[in-house]
Amino acid sequence: MKSIMKNFLFPIFLVVFGISTATSQSFWFGAKSGLGLNRQQWSNFNRQFVATAFGDALIESYDEEETNSLYAMLGYHLRGSGIRFTQFQGYTTQTNGYIFRNLVLELGVKRALGDYGDKYRPYYIMAVRGEYTLSTNLDEFVGYDTRYFPHNDFVNKFNYGITFGAGYEWTTSNYQKVFLELAINPDVSYQYDQPALSNVRNPYTGTKENLSPVRVRNLSFEIKVGVKFLRKVTYID
């Protein structure tokens, strides 16, 4: 994880930070956290939503008119889905979650929706995301059969997608704001990409089967709460 931060994500975050400080000197910084509902479309099981928590650090450019800004966000998010299947030995139904632990870098624009005074302001965001999968829980399914259930060999470490959202922020002081935000995060790339496999043993029947390709994208809905602080530079003649 340290090498990923050093060689990939951390330099990008520093570039965005440098652009913000070089253009205006003043900028916002803060953190956000919340709850995500995650889903993936697997072809061979009934899919369920999985609820997960997440956390982000953010920086945002400063605009005196508070109409437009650029932001960068770096965080830790869990992607995945709940998979429901039946164990024929005991005729019981069980739900397990496929979890992908991702480091997320999001770069976007933020625009105010109208002028509601100095204290309250709605806004919307549009962004692009890059994600790196640190680990998964797929090894937990080895006992069932690693070729019939997902396997880490077919997990794409790097993924990308887009983000759309809207929020509402409150000014609590000249140097602090709190906000509530809703976002939808569809991936463009595949989190899991398994080619067609032949002569795979079915763990339930023992027969040989040919498996179709499995290509899975992440989709998450997130509700976030956060706080940001203003680092303001004032020039004196």
74 and 55 Cβ atoms separated by less than 8 Å: no
φ and ψ at residue 93, rounded to 5 degrees: -100, 135
138 DSSP 8-state letter: G
CA distances from 84 to 97, 170, 189, 226 (A): 9, 42, 24, 34
Q: Which domains does the chain have, with CATH numbers?
A: 2-231 (2.40.160.20)
CB 26 within 8 A of CB 40: no
CA distance 231 to 206: 64
**φ, ψ (nearest 5 deg) of residue 143:** -65, -25
pLDDT tens for the chain, 237 residues long, are: 445 444 545 555 555 555 555 555 788 999 999 999 999 888 655 578 889 999 999 999 888 777 888 899 999 999 998 866 555 555 545 556 889 999 999 999 999 987 666 688 899 999 999 999 999 998 887 666 555 678 899 999 999 999 999 999 999 988 899 999 999 999 999 999 988 878 877 766 778 888 788 889 999 999 999 999 998 766 565
CA distances (Å), origin 177, targets 29, 49, 160, 190, 226? 10, 32, 29, 36, 9
Query: Which helix (H) or strand (E) element contains residue 2?
Result: helix 2-4
Per-residue model confidence as pLDDT tens digits over 42-100: 865 557 888 999 999 999 988 877 788 889 999 999 999 886 655 555 554 555 688 99
Closest CA to 100 of 128, 57, 129, 131: 131
DSSP annotation string for 54-79? EEEEEEEE--TT-SEEEEEEEEEEEE
pTM of the model: 0.80
